[in-house]
Structure 1
Amino acid sequence: MKVAIVTGAGSGIGQSAAIRIAERGMGVILTYSSNREGGLHTAAVIEKAGGTAVALPLDLADSGTFPAFRDSVVDALRDTWQRDTFDHLVNNAGSVRTSMFEDTTEDTFDLLTRVLLKGPYFLTQRLLPLMEDGGAIVNTSSNSTGVGLEPGYSVYGTMKGGLDVLTRYMAKEFATRGIRVNSVSPGPTRTRLGDNAFERFPEVIPALAAKTALGRVGEPDDIGAMIATLISTESRWVTAQNIEVSGGYNL
């Protein structure tokens, strides 16, 4: 059985991606940070449907925890799947803080750097020796790097832009092992990011839907399904691509 690691799968896009990947017959190691209940729920949903999943804690903002996380992955692979390698990696975990440029603090800048760029970089580096040749990596980016520009997202969008470039470098270097690397860029999507911003400010939804060609905001499953497709053999000839999954936001 193939095994995928999905970070930030306690809710939203990561949760959907983990479930959709499991539906394709793969085992899933999923991570959560503060939302332990959500991570365990995602694993339970997968197992109830006949799949196999292990939920592990991961603090993406602290790269010092990555060696211990790698050890936990090794244990999970051995104990659950009798393997010492995995096949696919989805770097999805993230965080968002918004502020206008003149109000942005170094603390905010440094936190988003660690979570959105440094975290995926060094987590992938740490896990790469455990990854099978011929696998696939998907990085969750954002359309805030291009057509989705909104005031207040300068740090978030900048880090996601760095992730887009990193995706291409990963694809270039990992190609020698047959590992494909792509990114997806969601538009406005109904997730828990921003302290459940969509629940706290439902009045913004109609305006966002009006700016979207397909007439609504995104749902986590819209993006999770694309991530599952990108790691599958159906996408075996796709690498170094950033695919916007936004329903035509600002088209």
Structure 2
Amino acid sequence: MLTNSIIETKKAYNASIDQKAFEIAQKYVSDKKITIEILRAINELYQSAKLNDYDEVNFESAYHNPITSDVEFLIARVIYHIASFKDLYWKVLLRRQKNKCAPDIRIEHEGNTLFVIEIKVKAGWIQQIFSDKRVEHDKERFEKGLIDKSPERKIIELKEQFEKYQNAFDIKKNKIFVLIASLSNVHRKKYLDANIKTYKDTFLRNSNLPEQNLVVLSDNLDIDLSSEKDDSLYRPSEDFETMLKIMFSR
């Protein structure tokens, strides 16, 4: 059984994330840009996840705790606090299952689902959705038996997931958002014609979602948010503010 000190430390850690979310929400309702604050917070979460305080003569670590759940919590609490400031009485559900579906974030009011948000801190594991070149590469690997799932199958599964949400929660596809910190894990410099627009356009074609429903926080294709502390390189996009405008102007 965990000692009280570990439990209390974890509670304090979660409280610090919530405090950051509260401060970000305050800035938003004060008409300030907040995507840069989200990116800074993600970098802080990465730094906190690095277990390197115990590097000793006979003990070294390169272990990093995954931060996806922390980012999901941060975004969920930002939305919760904004809704609270606006007296909307929305219910923000984080990974809660309903009708055999458990989106990362689901927002409902009086029992009706308003929005679903899927969060991918890194998009490397779904590169095929963003890049036709990657589809071609993985198609060859699949035919050679080097991978066990074709890139076309991954694209189909993504569409099926969104269709499942539409049916399970009785919402239209324009109420489903996909939030990604950056596309740096998708980008390859050898793809000479690739840029942020081509990656987004490919995703939208493969996902069948509306343009504004893909939220990429950083426009920098070369950024590594897990290590880069110079926030002048973060190049925040307008996507997150656009999503919030859609959500809170309904």
Q: What TM-score do you get using the length of structure 1 for normalisation?
A: 0.38
TM-score (norm 2): 0.39
